[in-house]
Structure 1
Amino acid sequence: MSRPHDMGGRYGDGPVIPEAEGKVFHADWHARALAVTLAAGAHGKWNIDVSRHARECLAPMDYARFSYYEKWIAALADLLVAIDLVSARELSRGDADATPRARATLQARDVSAVLAKGGPADRPSDIAATFKTGDAVRTRRIAANTLVDGGHTRLPRYAAGAVGRVVRFHGTHVLPDRSAHGLGEGAEPLYGVAFAASELWAHPEHPRDEVVLDLWQSYLAPA
C-alpha cells in the first residue's frame, strides 16, 4: 500500500476540516488509549519510529476504516505481541497470564513528567551539514527507504523529486529509516524545507501556499 504518510493531496479523501480548539478527547476511551500506549512505551522496548512503522503496517482496509485512536490501539497490540509482552491468547481472552512479562511500570504520579519531557531525538553526529538556510534543494526521486525494502521513512512520496528551499536547520537527529528497524540511530542533519503547492501537485487549490517538511540530509541533493 502507499504509506499513510503519502496521503497528502490524494484525490477522493475530501477536505481537511479543522476541529474546534479546546476538546482534547471525543470519547472516554480515547484518553484510555493514549494512557495505555504511553504506559506500554515506558517499558522501553521500542521507540517512536518503531511505533509509527507499526501503524503504517496495519492492513490497508483497516487503516482506512479505523479512527485515529483505533489505529493506535491496533498497532500497539501488534507491537506487544511481536516483542512478547502480551500473547495473542491473552489478547483474545481479555486477561493476562499469571506470570507478568513486563518488569517496568509507569506510575500515575510520573505521567505528567514523562509527557513534558517527551523523547528528544537530537543526537551528536559526525556528518557535517551540507545545506544552509535559503539553499535550493531537491528531494530524492524515489521516496522509499533505501536501507530496508518497504521500510519506514519520513520522506513522503508526494514530495519525491520536488524542489524546495531550506528554511531552517534543526541540528542533527536520529534517522527514522534506521531507527525503526534496529539499525542504530544514524543521526544526520535535519532541515525544514518549504515547497510551493504548485511544485507538489498538478492542480493545487492555492498554488502559492507552501508546505514545510522536516527532511534528513540523505533525502536531499542540491537543486
Structure 2
Amino acid sequence: MNGVHDTGGMQGFGPVTAEPGEPPFHDEWERRAFAITLALGALGLWNIDQMRHERESLSPAEYLTSSYYRIWFLAVERAVRELELLDREGLRARTAEELTGLFSSRSSYERPIGTGPVFRAGQRVRTRTINPSGHTRLPRYARGRVGTVLAVRGAHVFPDRNAVPLGQEPDPAPEWLYTVDFSAGELWGEGADPTVTVSIDAWEPYLEAA
C-alpha cells in the first residue's frame, strides 16, 4: 500500500528531534494501548501483519496528526469494529497470569521451506517496482534499486500474504528473507553522503537478479 505511513525519503516534514533517554511510554494510556493490542493479538484475533495493515489503512489526516501509540489505538478501535467485537457479549476473561505468560514468550516467524534460496550473500540484486494495494514491507524509496545481499536470514512468513483482511484465514507460507545493502547514492541520488549505506530486510518475491 502506497500510503502516508511510508514516508522514507519524503520531504517537508521538518527535522526529527531525538529525545535523550526517551521512555517507552509517555503516558499511562500509551502503556494500555500497547497492552490491549498485544492481548487481543494473543487471543488470535489478528496477526502482526494484519494489525500493521490496519494502521496503514487509517485516513491520511488521522495518521499524520496522531502520535505513535494513538495510531496503535485507532487501529485497534477500527479492528474491533470490523470484527464486530463491540456488539458481542464480550471476550472470554483472561487473567493477568495467563497474559503474562503470552507476553514473556517470543514467537518466531521463521518456518521450514522445501526449496533453497535463489540468491546468495554478495550477489547483486534489484528490488522490484511494485505498487500493492495491501500491506508490504518493501518501502517505496527502495523499489527498483540495485543492492548487494549481505545475508540470507532463513525462510519466514511472507507479510504481503499474511496481512489478509480481518476475519479471513492468513496464508503463512514462507519465503526466503535476505538483508540487502544499498548505497545512499543508489537510493537518494548524487548528492547523498557516499559513506552511508542503508540495509533493508527483503523477502525473495521483492527481488530479482541485477
Normalised by the size of structure 1, how large is the TM-score?
0.85
Question: Which SS does the other structure have where 1:127 is aligned?
Answer: coil
1:158 is aligned with what amino acid? Y
2:114 is aligned with what amino acid? D
Matched, 1:215 2:202: yes
- Displacement of 1:18 in angstroms is 2.5
TM-aligned CA distance change 1:42 to 1:10, over 3 Å: same
The 4+ residue runs of structure 1 with deviation greater than 6 A are none
Question: Which SS does the other structure have where 1:41 is aligned?
Answer: helix
Q: Take 1:193 and 1:117, find their aligned partners in 2: how far apart are those partners?
A: 29
Matched, 1:63 2:63: yes
Contact 2:178/2:204, CA 8 A, preserved across alignment: yes
Question: Which SS does the other structure have where 1:6 is aligned?
Answer: coil
Contact 1:163/1:199, CA 8 A, preserved across alignment: yes
TM-aligned CA distance change 1:19 to 1:10, over 3 Å: same
Matched, 1:177 2:160: yes
Count residues with an aligned counterpart: 206
Matched with 2:82 is 82
Matched with 1:151 is 134
**Alignment partner for residue 146 of structure 2, among 163, 167, 170?**
163
2:151 is aligned with what amino acid? R
Alignment of 1:126-145 (within 5 A): 126-142=114-130, 144-145=131-132
**Taking CA–CA contacts closer than 8 Å with sequence separation of 6 or more, which of the two structures ends up with the larger relative contact order?**
2
Matched with 1:53 is 53
Matched with 1:119 is 107
Q: Take 2:179 and 2:5, find their aligned partners in 1: how far apart are those partners?
A: 17
TM-aligned CA distance change 1:75 to 1:203, over 3 Å: farther
- Displacement of 1:21 in angstroms is 2.9
Question: Which SS does the other structure have where 1:86 is aligned?
Answer: helix
Contact 2:5/2:63, CA 8 A, preserved across alignment: no
- Displacement of 1:37 in angstroms is 1.3
5+ residue gaps in structure 2? none
Contact 2:146/2:182, CA 8 A, preserved across alignment: yes
Q: Take 2:44 and 2:146, find their aligned partners in 1: how far apart are those partners?
A: 38
Q: Take 2:103 and 2:194, find their aligned partners in 1: how far apart are those partners?
A: 38
Q: Alignment identity in percent? A: 42
Matched, 1:33 2:29: no
Matched, 1:192 2:179: yes
Contact 2:147/2:180, CA 8 A, preserved across alignment: yes
Q: Take 2:4 and 2:194, find their aligned partners in 1: how far apart are those partners?
A: 23
